[in-house]
Amino acid sequence: MAVIQLFNEIGTIFRNTPTFALVLEIFLLITVIWLLLHKRGGGRRRRFTKEEEDFIIENYEPEPLVGETDPDHPLLRTRLVASKVGKRINVDGHDCLNLGSHNYLGFLEDQDILEEACKSLRKYGVGSCGPRGFYGTMDVHLELEERIAKFMDLEEAIVYSYGFSTVASAIPAYAKRGDIIFVDEGVNFAIQKGLDASRSTIAFFKHNDVKDLERLLVEQEKRDQKNPKKALKTRRFLVAEGIYMNTGKICPLPELVALRKQYKLRIFIDESVSFGTLGKGGRGVTEHFNIDRDEIDLISAGMEGSMATIGGFCVGSHFIAEHQRLSGLGYIFSASLPPMLTQAAISALDRFEREPQIFEQLQAKAQLLHQIFSRFSKLRLCGDELSPVKHLYLAIPGETFDAERKRLIDVADKCIARGVAVVEAAYLQNRERKPVRPSIRVAVNRLLEEAEISAAFEIIENVSSAVL
């Protein structure tokens, strides 16, 4: 009975419905069924049968894991150092004057630092056997962080166990997808990797060209005006190096800071070269330009240069630096810096504070070397006068970078054989953002004498004139 009644009801409904509504409903019904069936039928792609799958797997031929390596590749042939590294160095059996190691202040030869490190070894052992979170924090790590913060007159420092990972972890701790980072195109490889890891939008400006940066900032401002909602969520960063490892030039910090204020950027400076070399007290590029360090959001530096140990640190306000203790991947997930190397950094800071004249000595030597090395006939010196890192390029550009590199290697080899250790800067040309022009990278040591620099000049000049 009920069924018949139901049918009657439905019949009434149909009869009372206008035709166009009926047609529409039927059409909708068909669409729904079609969509449902279509989805079940394999979605966007057709499923293979088991036999087909087996066939594909059978025939799948992957590329080899790695390609063949040219046995003459320049990076395969590394030079052997057979002595303690200092002002003199034994390379491939030749006793040389060292113009290649980034031992700017000559601390590698310092007996006091070594003694204190060995004392530390006798207290803590060699390794720390754990990340900072899990009993890898030793009192020396805390002491070093406190000392760096005090030295830089900032609130907080955070120590990493590897120079490369310091800036490469610091950048992605703050910059995320959707943010924008303005970067000098001359930045070193570690910064490039940090940028990659952040997944932010990257805008490169020409090396040390503030005008170009401003152009990019204006473009961004226009974009922001078009989409103000997005602009409210986009963090803006500016990343530069104090002294560029790859060019030896000092960044124009006052102009960068002015732009930071105008365009509300957060500025990160990598001071791997400039820390402990620039400024009256070795406090880096901020001291050099006499800029208040509060203007900079984060300073990072490797300790593998002037401090002559291993690792790196970031220093800034408590608000900024503390964040890395929970977000800096290379900090959280890596074993902490071996205590003896931490102690070496503390001892280096002791020296920084006790003998601030070493920085002026180093800068004087850098200037002296700059003057003397500007006179090469076949090589062109590049880099700032005060910078302890300088590059020698071929005065007459070669046809290709490969050709240039081959000739520079030849020069370096012959210089080493004649008692001056200089090396061509090593780059992974195919992995850099864009190929870097080959050069011989010269590192200045505070302990060099004028006579030694002149003698080195003679040798390099003779060799380069003969070879090039």
Footprint on residues 28-87 left by another protein (CB under 8 A): 45, 48, 52-53, 56-57, 60-63, 65-71, 73, 75-76, 78-86
Tell which one of 87, 97, 138, 183 touches another protein (CB under 8 A): 138
Closer residue to another protein in complex, CB, 266/288? 266
Closer residue to another protein in complex, CB, 304/404? 304
Tell which one of 29, 36, 142, 396 touches another protein (CB under 8 A): 142
Closer residue to another protein in complex, CB, 285/320? 320
Tell which one of 190, 299, 358, 386 touches another protein (CB under 8 A): 190
Closer residue to another protein in complex, CB, 4/311? 311
Longest CA–CA span in the chain (Å) reads 118
Stretch that binds another protein, among 4-12, 124-132, 282-290, 372-380 (CB under 8 A): 124-132
Tell which one of 87, 97, 103, 271 touches another protein (CB under 8 A): 103
Residue 449 CB, shortest distance to another protein, in Å, is: 20
Residue 266 CB, shortest distance to another protein, in Å, is: 7
Closer residue to another protein in complex, CB, 141/283? 141
Residue 269 has φ and ψ, to the nearest 5°, of -120, 130
Q: What is the Cα–Cα distance from 379 to 370, expressed in whole angstroms?
A: 13
Footprint on residues 413-432 left by another protein (CB under 8 A): 421, 423, 425-428, 430-431
Tell which one of 100, 186, 279, 388 touches another protein (CB under 8 A): 100
Q: Find out whether 167 and 237 touch, Cβ atoms under 8 Å.
A: no
- DSSP lists the bridge partners of residue 420 as 97
Q: Find out whether 311 and 303 touch, Cβ atoms under 8 Å.
A: yes
* Count of Cβ atoms closer than 10 Å to residue 93 Cβ: 10
Closer residue to another protein in complex, CB, 150/375? 150
Contact call for residue 150 and another protein (CB under 8 A): no
Footprint on residues 279-308 left by another protein (CB under 8 A): 294-295, 297, 302, 304-305, 308
Footprint on residues 193-232 left by another protein (CB under 8 A): 193, 196-197, 199, 232
**Look-up of token digits 């390609």:** 67
Contact call for residue 161 and another protein (CB under 8 A): yes
The tokens of 234 are what? Answer: 């986009």
372 CB-near residues (< 8 Å, 6+ apart): 453, 454, 457
Closer residue to another protein in complex, CB, 18/42? 42
**Parallel/antiparallel/unpaired status of strands 312-316 and 298-302:** antiparallel
The tokens of 59 are what? Answer: 């025939």
Q: What is the Cα–Cα distance from 353 to 441, expressed in whole angstroms?
A: 29
* Count of Cβ atoms closer than 10 Å to residue 336 Cβ: 25
SS3 state at 249: coil
What interhelical angle do 139-152 and 339-354 show, nearest 10? Answer: 30
Sign of CA dihedral 173, 178, 181, 185: positive
SS3 state at 179: coil
Give ∠ CA 12-16-22 in degrees, rounded to 5: 105
Footprint on residues 337-376 left by another protein (CB under 8 A): 337-338, 340-341, 344
Residue 264 CB, shortest distance to another protein, in Å, is: 5
CA 436 vs CA 188, 398, 430, 457: distances in Å: 10, 14, 10, 25
Contact call for residue 127 and another protein (CB under 8 A): yes
Tell which one of 317, 361, 367, 374 touches another protein (CB under 8 A): 317
Residue 459 CB, shortest distance to another protein, in Å, is: 17
User: Three-state secondary structure along 41-92?
Assistant: CCCCCCCCCHHHHHHHHHHCCCCCCCCCCCCCCHHHCCCCECCCCCCEEEEC
Contact call for residue 146 and another protein (CB under 8 A): no
Closer residue to another protein in complex, CB, 35/428? 428
Residue 255 CB, shortest distance to another protein, in Å, is: 19
**CA-closest candidate to residue 108, choices 275, 310, 284, 279:** 310
Residue 66 CB, shortest distance to another protein, in Å, is: 4
Contact call for residue 165 and another protein (CB under 8 A): yes
Stretch that binds another protein, among 8-16, 120-128, 250-258, 449-457 (CB under 8 A): 120-128
Size of the site for another protein (CB under 8 A): 124
The tokens of 36 are what? Answer: 């449902």
Closer residue to another protein in complex, CB, 151/427? 427
DSSP label at residue 247: T
Stretch that binds another protein, among 3-11, 17-25, 317-325, 382-390 (CB under 8 A): 317-325
Residue 14 CB, shortest distance to another protein, in Å, is: 46
